């Protein structure tokens, strides 16, 4: 049947449109210097034009679902890890994912890749650019633009220490007596790092760690440099550019130094460059902050207030990470109560074409808890944190303006986070975990599955002891032989979870109601259930996804089930409306109505 959603390629900005948008954004960032910076940007774009292949295509479809992984998460001791990953995708996950997010694969000095030494090189311990390009040929490749900070082992930092160009003016010097108490902190480490230079001791801004020195985007040289780096990644095959820690990009003393107007202007400028040179390339912002702040990176509120033109299109991020979902799902499935999840999902606005969510439950980082602010009362958040500690996890802290520390994220594998309920561990871990993944897959947006979700990985406490870093608990490196044995042996959680997720992902990719633009409506149910409708599409097709979020059988008290006949996608058979209406613990239904199919 014809697809009900648009398959038109992303519209390309012509030269005049691009110049107008770029000039407007540069005015917001640099004021009187805008024309000078624009001329430099135009030269860069003209130089890169021939290196960017034309790949006009629709932004997305229901087939879009990404694997999130490190380049060396899978090792065999013989081949470059990127080649081992490629072989695993071909043999174990063929036709399962539309693409892969390879976390920073550049030479790095700390934070498992997010302290970049060389932006245009591949870490030789992983492979080379040919290996990256091979992954890109198989599907969409997401690449990190680690834009806020750089390793102190980088050549730019060496330049800074020596007082030579270009790095001399790439960093933010600050008098340590400056009042920076208003600055929002994602860590509890010192904000200013003392550095010995030829000019004596200087104090540099370092939001995340003493090895990750923030870059000075008030210097246009830095912006031009990073636009060139972004376009280099696109030329190597990247289709999705992830803006790491983008919220902290611009600094202005006397403010919180997060989500500043100049930061949003930089994101919109990067979007304009991509829409002009590489239409169809997606921009995604990574901002682990409360939900409303996260939503600002679509630019919808600004668009609504600044433009009376109802046809104006969003021009900031195509996608934002749905940071609220991971902790809210843990709360739901460990409490057996979907009330908060339903209320939050019901509050999500309808998104215009060109905007969608990146849904995930786990990533290389921990399970952020800031996104729960205003959604759960403090005692519920505290109860969840205490439970995660009982299940073997840790809690990382951030520094607050009052000088105290507060929880920032839980460090635990998602599989172990769902080891039990508030009553303790129980035999339902696999079913509970799969429920979390299956529920995420039905929500509006594009899903991302972290490799360790596919493999039901347990907490890596030994790794934490070796590294001294709490996040290592969820960053285990698999020996391929060991993983193959677990996948090929019967009755292992790894095999059960892997096969179940692979089957559900393949099924999802064939269902048009899961197109990111298909409407979403939260269905009223008792708190023991969660239900969402996707669609109806233009042809009337709609999908009803229902989940039991408890460890007890629950009656299917869902009024929509009486609205005509349904087809059970999971059973590949008509749904028997006359059978007892109940759902086993942590089980789900994906039911479709196909008008005219009868």
The answer to whether 542 and 534 have CB atoms below 8 angstroms apart is yes
Q: Would you state the structure tokens that stand for residue 334, as one six-digit string?
A: 């460990």
Nearest CA to 385 out of 324, 330, 321 is that of 330
Q: Would you state the structure tokens that stand for residue 247, as one six-digit string?
A: 């919220």
| Number of neighbours of residue 296 by Cβ within 10 angstroms | 20
The answer to whether 433 and 497 have CB atoms below 8 angstroms apart is yes
Residue 546: what are its φ and ψ, rounded to 5°? Answer: -125, 135
Q: Is 264 annotated as a binding residue?
A: no
Q: Is 111 annotated as a binding residue?
A: yes
Q: Would you state the structure tokens that stand for residue 26, as one six-digit string?
A: 């540069």
Residue 397 three-state SS: strand
Nearest CA to 322 out of 538, 139, 520 is that of 520
Strand bridging mode 319-321 / 356-359: parallel
Q: Is 149 annotated as a binding residue?
A: yes
Q: For residue 244, indicate whether it is catalytic.
A: yes
Q: Is 244 annotated as a binding residue?
A: yes
Rounded to 10 degrees, the C-alpha dihedral 155/161/166/169 comes to 130
| E strand map for 426-537 | 446-450, 478-479, 520-523, 529-534
Inter-CA distances, 263 with 186, 267, 268, Å: 17, 6, 9
DSSP 470-492: GGGGG-PPEEHHHHHHHHHSTT-
The answer to whether 89 and 100 have CB atoms below 8 angstroms apart is yes
Catalytic residue among 244, 337, 416, 551: 244
The answer to whether 553 and 583 have CB atoms below 8 angstroms apart is yes
Q: Is 95 annotated as a binding residue?
A: no
Instruction: Tell whether omega for the bond before 166 is within 30 degrees of 0, i.e. cis.
Output: yes
Q: Would you state the structure tokens that stand for residue 383, as one six-digit string?
A: 């109860």
Strand bridging mode 573-574 / 319-321: unpaired
Which residues have C-beta within 8 Å of that of residue 575, sequence separation ≥ 6?
A: 565, 566, 567, 568, 589, 591
Q: Is 242 annotated as a binding residue?
A: yes
Which residues have C-beta within 8 Å of that of residue 227, sequence separation ≥ 6?
A: 41, 44, 269, 270, 273
d(Cα 500, Cα 44) in Å, to the nearest integer?
A: 47
Which residues have C-beta within 8 Å of that of residue 488, sequence separation ≥ 6?
A: 495
Residues tagged active-site:
244
Residues that constitute the known binding site: 111, 149, 242-244, 364-365, 471
Residues that constitute the known binding site for substrate: 111, 149, 242-244, 364-365, 471
């Amino acid at each position: 049947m014809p697809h009900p959603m648009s398959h038109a390629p992303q519209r390309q900005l012509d030269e005049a449109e691009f110049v107008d948008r770029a000039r407007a954004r540069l005015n917001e960032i640099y004021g009187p210097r805008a024309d000078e910076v624009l001329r430099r940007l135009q030269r860069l774009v003209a130089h890169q034009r021939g290196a960017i292949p034309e790949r006009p295509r629709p932004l997305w479809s229901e087939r879009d679902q990404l694997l999130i992984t490190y380049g060396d998460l899978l090792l065999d001791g013989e081949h470059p890890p990127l080649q081992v990953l490629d072989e695993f995708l071909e043999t174990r996950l063929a036709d399962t994912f539309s693409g892969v997010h390879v976390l920073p694969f550049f030479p790095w000095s700390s934070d498992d890749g997010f302290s970049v030494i060389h932006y245009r090189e591949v870490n030789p311990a992983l492979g080379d650019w040919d290996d990256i390009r091979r992954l890109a040929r198989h599907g969409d490749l997401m690449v990190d633009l680690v834009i806020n900070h750089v390793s102190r082992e980088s050549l730019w930092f060496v330049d800074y220490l020596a007082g030579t160009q270009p790095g001399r003016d790439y960093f933010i010097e600050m008098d340590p007596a400056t009042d920076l108490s208003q600055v929002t902190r994602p860590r509890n480490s010192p904000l200013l790092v003392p550095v010995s230079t030829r000019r004596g001791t200087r104090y540099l801004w370092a939001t995340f760690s003493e090895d990750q020195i923030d870059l000075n985007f008030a210097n246009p040289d830095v912006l031009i440099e990073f636009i060139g780096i972004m376009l280099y990644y696109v030329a190597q095959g990247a289709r999705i550019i992830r803006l790491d820690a983008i919220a902290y990009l611009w600094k202005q003393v006397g403010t919180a130094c997060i989500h500043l107007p100049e930061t949003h202007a930089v994101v919109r400028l990067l979007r304009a460059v991509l829409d002009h040179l590489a239409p169809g390339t997606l921009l995604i912002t990574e901002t682990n902050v409360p939900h409303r702040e996260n939503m600002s990176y679509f630019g919808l509120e600004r668009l609504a207030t600044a433009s009376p033109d109802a046809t104006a299109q969003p021009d900031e991020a195509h996608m934002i990470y749905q940071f609220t979902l991971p902790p809210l799902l843990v709360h739901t499935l460990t409490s057996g109560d979907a009330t908060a999840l339903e209320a939050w999902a019901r509050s999500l606005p309808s998104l215009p074409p060109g905007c969608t969510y990146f849904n995930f439950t786990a990533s290389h980082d921990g399970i952020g808890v800031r996104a729960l602010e205003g959604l759960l009362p403090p005692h519920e958040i505290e109860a969840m944190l205490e439970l995660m500690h009982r299940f073997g996890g840790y809690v990382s802290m951030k520094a607050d303006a009052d000088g105290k520390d507060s929880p920032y994220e839980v460090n635990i594998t998602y599989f172990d986070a769902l080891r039990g309920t508030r009553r303790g561990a129980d035999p339902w871990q696999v079913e509970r975990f799969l429920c979390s993944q299956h529920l995420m897959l039905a929500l509006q947006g594009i899903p991302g599955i972290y490799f360790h979700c596919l493999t039901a990985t347990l907490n890596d406490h030994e790794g934490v002891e070796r590294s001294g870093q709490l996040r290592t608990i969820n960053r285990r490196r698999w020996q391929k032989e060991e993983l193959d044995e677990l996948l090929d042996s019967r009755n292992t959680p790894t095999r059960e979870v892997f096969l179940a997720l692979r089957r559900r992902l393949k099924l999802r990719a064939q269902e048009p109601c899961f197109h990111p633009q298909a409407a979403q409506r939260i269905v009223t149910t008792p708190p023991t259930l969660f239900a969402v409708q996707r669609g109806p599409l233009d042809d009337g097709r709609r999908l009803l996804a229902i989940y039991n979020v408890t460890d007890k059988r629950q009656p299917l008290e869902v009024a929509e089930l009486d609205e005509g006949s349904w087809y059970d996608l999971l059973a590949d058979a008509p749904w028997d409306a006359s059978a007892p209406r109940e759902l086993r613990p942590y089980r789900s239904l994906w039911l479709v109505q196909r008008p005219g199919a009868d």
